[in-house]
Amino acid sequence: MPLDDSVTTDRSQEVAQSALEVLALLARALIILSRPQPPHAFALPYPSVAQSALDQIVLRCLLQEKDPPESLPALVSWCRRLTVGQLPVRVPAHVVTPEARLLSPRAAYPTRTCVELASYGPQGLVEQQAARLLTRLADGCPSPELFRECRTFLRGHPVLFRPRDRETPVWEHVHHVYTTAGSDQLFCTACGLPATRAACEREECLTDIPSRQVRPTPEGALLLDPALRTFLCLPAPTERAVLRTLAGRGVIVDLHDPGLGLFRLPSAAGTRPRLLGVYDRLHPALLAARVCELLAASDGTLIVAVPDHHLRRPGFREAFESRLDTNTMRRVRLTGPAALGAPPAPSPHIPEMKEDDA
């Protein structure tokens, strides 16, 4: 007896959700393996998350009658060579684009796609790590004003180039989230984030900014924690543009919590709370999943502000809205700085390095 359309649709959604969870598991494994590892990291037994990811990929290969990776190093090699669409995990294209990659082919570092996937769901790692770091920072600051100063400093300094950058009252509170850059570390002059010759962590500068250059960091440069670089520094230009516009209209916002770009807007007594979230994400469906998590813990409404160039991407809004149910749709507004009346949000400009700056 054939299944009716509703049963078929439900089954398709279950299959897609299962595939997304496996892809997120694989992304978490790659994030864990990208961290400094002890010599035995790729020896048996593998780290539990990595073993689970390998098991799931092998199972899906066997079900699809494909040759599976024989080991964890082989799986990592797969992720360097193959796009998401070529992996044996069939995630809908509007959730993660088929041409996206989990690892950079040349440098084998996790891509933004990998980081966003690794932050998906209750087992998420990276965005959650950034939120924990900010919460600890807030707990260690004697006043909300000092925390805001610390947050502003971090937001504007993904890389610390000069020793004098550390001559600030906030340094004693934030130094623990920086590590020394390697001697071969490069940075992008357009966005200020760490880079390789092929691409930077923003991944969009090469096409967006023709004058973009990659230069070596000076000796003694420091790198901000990678989770904070992605989830605090990347949205910073959009956040500044949006908050500047609101302030110009006399709208004063407060941080909703020590989190990542979530603010409280003024609301009348007895009405629902109004929140503003500022994000820079490549995959709108994954952003929508995060929005659903936030609204599940609140009865308020949420303005979701993203860079204008994301809103201009074909299908971005549709992919975002496809993950929202009817009730959530009524509580969410997706917008950008231009729609709010803000000037275009420029990428951070990194000044020319002088000999005495090193």
Maximum alpha-carbon separation in the chain: 79
Domain regions of the chain by residue span:
5-124, 127-233, 236-335
Map residue 301 onto helix, strand or coil.
strand
Distance of CA 294 to the CA centre of its chain: 16
State residue 189 phi and psi, 5-degree precision: -75, -15
**pLDDT at position 209:** 60
Please say whether the beta carbons of 150 and 137 come within 8 A: yes
**pLDDT at position 256:** 87
Beta bridge partners of 215: 187
Cα dist from 76 to 37, 155, 228, whole Å: 15, 32, 25
State residue 70 phi and psi, 5-degree precision: -85, -15
State residue 187 phi and psi, 5-degree precision: -140, 155
- Tell me the whole-structure pTM to 2 decimals: 0.89
**pLDDT at position 349:** 43
Q: What is the CATH number of domain 236-335?
A: 3.40.1350
Q: Is 303 exposed, middle or buried (0-12, 13-18, 19+ CB in 10 A)?
A: middle
Please say whether the beta carbons of 194 and 223 come within 8 A: yes
**pLDDT at position 343:** 59
For the chain, 358 residues long, give each residue's pLDDT as a single digit of tens. 444 444 456 778 888 899 999 999 999 999 999 987 654 555 667 889 999 999 999 999 999 999 999 999 999 999 999 999 999 999 999 999 999 999 998 888 999 999 999 999 999 999 999 999 999 999 999 999 999 999 999 999 999 988 788 888 899 999 999 999 988 899 998 888 999 888 889 998 876 565 567 889 888 899 999 999 999 999 999 999 999 999 998 988 999 877 778 999 988 777 788 999 999 999 999 999 999 999 998 889 999 999 999 999 999 999 999 999 999 999 999 999 988 875 555 555 444 334 334 3
Q: What is the layout of strands, in order, in the sheet containing 159-160?
A: 159-160, 222-224, 178-180
**pLDDT at position 258:** 73
Residues in the chain, total: 358
d(CA 23, CA 184): 31
3-state DSSP helix/strand/coil % of the chain, to nearest 5: 45, 10, 45
d(CA 17, CA 207): 32
d(CA 357, CA 159): 14
Sign of the four-CA dihedral 22, 284, 282, 242: negative
**pLDDT at position 58:** 97
